[in-house]
Chain A
Amino acid sequence: MVSIEVRGASVEFPIFDAKNRSLKKSVLGRAGGRISEQKVPVVEALRDIDLTLGEGARVGLVGHNGAGKSTLLRLLAGIYEPTRGRASIRGRVAPVFDLAVGMDPEISGYENILIRGLFLGMTRREMERRVDEIADFSELGDYLNMPLRTYSTGMRVRLALGVVTSIDPEILILDEGIGAVDAAFLEKARDRLRDLVGRSGMLVFASHSDEFLVELCDTAIWMDGGVIREQGPLRDVVSHYKGRDVFENLSPETIERLERASVTGP
């Protein structure tokens, strides 16, 4: 059973090295969470989050920079445990965050695939069986023998997506960075992600790209200043957030495909 349940959860970061004086002036800054005035300043990145996601949920996450999208994703991935409130995550989580981090630039793509897989709870043998498939999917070929520092951002995204989609996670958490790949690969990745979600998985996906959101998600959450401002069907939420109907600009083929998918899909 795959589920995520969050009740009244807050995430507050203590900032030990900030200068109090300069912070007092910026308490009411626009971007970022609220900063409280205590001995150690605390950034309240998320406040009173209530969220229930079940099997097959495909949630898009929208909001300005610093609205708490990435923090919410990390809360849902179980990396941050709420400082107040409760969170219960059931199911195997595979997150893809900032792509420069969590991969070792000095070792080869193959080794990074292995380590990433081990982190996500695979055994070495299971990963060795999947490595060819990942190499195939990512189209990186011989490049997998090269150290990761020689990779472009797009190539890293291919690698990371290849790993998380190959291990059949139950909860897939994607941050916006995955937009860095080219259109052809995007299409391939999209099909695979749809497949994955279809197989009982759950997807939570932060993105600024309308196209990506409508292709992959059916509901959305609008984060603003560390709280959930709106939650509901994708079209409504994203339209309110952007101030225009996101489905208007889609090509007829895309809409047709989406409709077909929602009929045959889960």
Chain B
Amino acid sequence: MAVPALARQDADDPAPLEHAPSPRSWGRAFGDIRKAVDQRELWGHLGWQDIKQRYRRSVIGPLWITISMAVTAAALGGLYSQLFGQPIGTFMPYVTVGFMIWYFISACVLEGTETFIANEGLIRFLPAPLMIYVFRTVWRQILFFAHNVVVYVIVLAIFFGQLDQPYRMVNVVPGTDGEPGILHPGLSWWALLAIPAFIVIVINGMWVTLLFGIISARFRDIPPVVGSFMQLFFTMTPIIWTTDLLQGGAPGSIKAIIEQLAKLNPFYHFIEIFRAPLVGQVQSWTHWAVVGVITVVGWSLALIALRNYRSRVAYWV
């Protein structure tokens, strides 16, 4: 049967064969994203389903997410504040917020590598935009995150008295002659900056999931490698320790070098833009600048990967 001349066509209608764009085109890549956004009911439902699934037949269900977060924050916050000799009233909120956002970021990276592999059955049997699975994965992490916000609210309620005034995380920086740590301004309306920070982190979570998902679908060594690196990054990122401890090293000393190295860790900057406002700490705009650059570079790489390999993923999984 002949294909009729192309008079009017809506945007979703693929062009007839002669004009069909090649599988590797920007049009198809952005079309994939647009269609996935249109199908938000689908990935929204699948994301919820994932959480319900994990706690199926458990009595308090997703409340376990909140409880386990609370236990972690209390135990590690309590332990490390004593180990480092830091006031618990300011250290506990610091650890809680750090964990909250670290869980989100590391889950985007770790589950991002699995995003297409885990949805293999759906990808190979139902025609759907690839971005559905990316959105599903990130949406699931957002829902987890929302459960953990409860813990922050509780911790804040308990320690508000210590946080709403200027405070020092570290009274005396170790290895110096009694030099005091940085004086933080305390909680203020700047805390609202955490909202755009979280949005930026989510936007980054999407490119991470997309890019790592595509690479991992092709190279199955990536997920375990990423897994062990994330373990390393957890200890290298100031989550259960603070960079305030690294202040005041003499130029050229090991301490000063470590302080510089800590800044090379991209996760540090992501954590900082979200955590600093929520615990009333000094906020440096360099973190935002670094995050901005990573966002642009990361999305560019992810879009190139989507353009070139979108149609290949079904063959790889």
Contact = CB atoms under 8 A, between A and B. Distances in A.
Interface of A: 1, 3, 5, 7, 13-14, 16, 52-55, 57, 74, 77-83, 86-90, 93, 95, 97-98, 101-102, 104, 106-107, 111, 114-115, 118-121, 123-124
Contact of B42 (A13, A78, A89, A115): A115
Given A86-B20, A93-B127, A101-B121, A80 B45 contact: no
B56 A118 contact: no
Nearest to A107: B49
Interface in B249-275: none
A78 B127 contact: yes
A13 B315 contact: yes
B39 interface: yes
B41 A107 contact: no
13 contacts: A3-B1, A3-B3, A78-B127, A81-B311, A82-B23, A88-B20, A104-B49, A106-B53, A106-B56, A111-B49, A118-B42, A119-B42, A123-B41
Contacts of A118: 39, 41-42, 45
A5 B124 contact: no
A5 B126 CA distance: 20
Contact of B53 (A79, A107, A115): A107
Nearest to B22: A86
Interface residues of B, number: 32
Nearest to B218: A16
Nearest to A103: B121
Contacts of B53: 104, 106-107
Interface stretch (B11-19, B102-110, B225-233): B11-19
A121 B128 CA distance: 9
A163 B45 CA distance: 18
Contacts of B39: 118, 121
Contact of A95 (B20, B125, B218): B125
Contacts of A97: 125
Given A82-B23, A90-B13, A106-B53, 17 more contacts: A1-B3, A5-B16, A7-B17, A14-B315, A16-B218, A55-B1, A57-B1, A79-B123, A88-B14, A88-B17, A95-B125, A98-B125, A101-B122, A101-B124, A102-B121, A104-B53, A115-B49
Contacts of B124: 74, 79, 101
A184 B186 CA distance: 74
A54 B2 CA distance: 8
Interface in B13-60: 13-17, 20, 23, 39, 41-42, 45-46, 49, 53, 56
A1 B4 CA distance: 9
Contacts of B74: none
